[in-house]
Amino acid sequence: MLFYNFVIFLYWLSIHIVSLFNDKARKWVSGRKNSFQHIKKTLQERNINGNIIWFHCASLGEFEQGRPVIESLKKANPGIKIVLTFFSPSGYEIRKDYDGADAVFYLPADFKRNAKKFIELVKPKTAVFVKYEFWLNYLSELKKQNIPTYLISAVFRPKQHFFKWYGQIFFKALKSYKKIFLQDEHSFQLLKNKGLTTLEIAGDTRFDRVIEIAHTKKELPLLDSFCGNNKVLIAGSTWLKDEEIVVAAYKKLKEKHDDLKLIIAPHEVNKTSVSNLEKLIGKNYTCYTNPVHIEQADVLIIDTIGILSQIYRYGTAAYIGGGFNDGIHNILEALVYNIPVAFGTNHHKFIEAAETLQSGISKEITNENDLYLFFDKLISDQDLQEKLRTEIQNYIRSKAGATRKITAELASI
């Protein structure tokens, strides 16, 4: 723990240094300024006390896994209070006004004194960590105060630090959880073989979330005008390498399929990334926020955030970005509309990628020719499209229900 606390201090110090010239680090630091005064004031002003469940998420992706449980708990018991915390600015800044929680805060850095003070202020009756967050001082303080603590939508792999000689302190921390809800059988067996018993396979709550989104249809008249009766390829959460591959494949496909259109939603919608994408496309494109000659355009750039999960319903097929960076983004947002997906090579941390590749409803690509061949086959073969649509629908349905299992446990506390 001495070494752990020293590393946490070095991390805290380095972020403060980096914040002098990095916007994300600056938000991390400024968001935690006078943190406890802000937390105390907010709790008092909103009369948040008693019957509090604390949810903690690293960032936006983990929030999307915790969200169905939060909303299900609120629906089952309107009297509970939800305090939601984030580690990352990319989660907090987008969801700080989330109305499913009674209060949203940055999590103070994992120093022993911070953990004690935060828990004394919030006084949660239950704590829920989503997927990957293992802050040892917070877990220790929760255990010391006999507060039931859960880990949900968790995934474990043999190469993680929990199972290395240097990671035993983290493995020991897993025993702090009253129950760990796991996504898959592999994770269950891995932890069981290491002696953990408070385990349950619940599945991934993201399936419940994307099903809910698909059932909540948002009207997008501009997309209706752009797509018309054309076949549409959608590239979501793309980075530069993704965009180079997608645009090159699309231009080649367009020569063969005149009724084909492309929607591309970059992961970052700042001026530089959108400008680079415009140069890459070259002509016959328009932007969502400035839709000039929308019906005549072949390519639509989504230069705003918050609507991608609804846009996938217009697709014949989709490409999901991130596979040539740190890892693919959420493929379930597209699959829920029963359209096959493609993605880059960095997908090995994602169970749904392995499962869908094995069943043939997704495709790993390494270059523009791979993507061209995958899309061309789908566009040209209506029978194949229908076959895959049925298989995808069955896959999504088979994975639903994690939220119900987790909510039933938490609601009984």
Examine the pLDDT at 346 and tell me if it is beyond 80: yes
**The one-letter amino acid at 348:** H
Residue-wise pLDDT for 176-211, tens only, equals: 999 999 999 999 999 999 999 999 999 999 999 999
**The one-letter amino acid at 351:** I
CATH number belonging to domain 219-399 = 3.40.50.2000
Token pair of 257, please? Answer: 């399929």
Residue range 143-157: mean pLDDT, rounded: 95
Examine the pLDDT at 337 and tell me if it is beyond 90: yes
Residue range 312-337: mean pLDDT, rounded: 95
Using the structure block, give the residue that is written with the tokens 């001026």: 271
Residue 382, sorted as left (phi over 0), alpha (psi -120 to 50) or beta, turns out to be alpha
Asked if 342 contacts 318 with a C-beta cutoff of 8 angstroms, the reply is yes
* pLDDT number for residue 132: 81
How big is the CA angle at 68 (ends 62 and 69), to the nearest 5 degrees?
A: 90
* Distance from the Cα of residue 229 to its chain's centroid: 31
Surface-to-core class of residue 111, CB atoms within 10 Å of its CB (0-12 exposed, 13-18 middle, 19+ buried): middle
* pLDDT number for residue 44: 95
Q: 223, 202, 205: which is closest to 265 by C-alpha?
A: 223
Q: What is the distance in angstroms between the CA of the first residue and the CA of the last residue of the chain? A: 30
Strand 52-57: give its sheet, edge to edge.
103-106, 81-86, 52-57, 126-130, 149-154, 179-182, 199-201
Token pair of 361, please? Answer: 């409803």
* pLDDT number for residue 305: 86
Asked if 62 contacts 91 with a C-beta cutoff of 8 angstroms, the reply is yes
Look at residue 213 and give its three-state secondary structure: helix
Using the structure block, give the residue that is written with the tokens 């704590």: 127
Q: Are 2-213+401-411 and 219-399 equal in CATH topology? A: yes
Distances (CA, A) of 131 to 199, 369, 373: 14, 35, 36
Residue range 363-373: mean pLDDT, rounded: 97
Question: In which band, very low, low, confident or very high, does the pLDDT at 307 lie, cut at 50, 70 and 90?
Answer: very high
Residue-wise pLDDT for 46-71, tens only, equals: 999 989 999 999 998 899 999 999 99
* pLDDT number for residue 184: 92
Phi first, then psi, for residue 172 (nearest 5°) are: -60, -35
Strands (E), 14-148: 52-57, 81-86, 103-106, 126-130
Distances (CA, A) of 121 to 52, 191, 346: 11, 33, 41
Please state, rounded to an integer, the average pLDDT across all residues of the chain.
94
Question: In which band, very low, low, confident or very high, does the pLDDT at 153 lie, cut at 50, 70 and 90?
Answer: very high
Instruction: Please provide the size of the chain in residues.
Output: 413
389 or 216: whose pLDDT is higher? 389
* pLDDT number for residue 334: 97
Using the structure block, give the residue that is written with the tokens 């005549």: 296
Residue-wise pLDDT for 217-267, tens only, equals: 889 999 999 999 999 999 999 999 999 999 999 999 999 999 999 999 999
How big is the CA angle at 132 (ends 128 and 135), to the nearest 5 degrees?
A: 70
Examine the pLDDT at 413 and tell me if it is beyond 80: no
* pLDDT number for residue 104: 97
Q: How many CA atoms lie within 13 A of 252 on its CB side?
A: 15
Residue-wise pLDDT for 107-126, tens only, equals: 999 999 999 999 999 999 99
CA-to-CA distance for 367 and 277, rounded, in angstroms? Answer: 18
Q: Does domain 2-213+401-411 have CATH number 3.50.4.10?
A: no
pTM of the model: 0.86
Domain residue extents for the chain: 2-213+401-411, 219-399
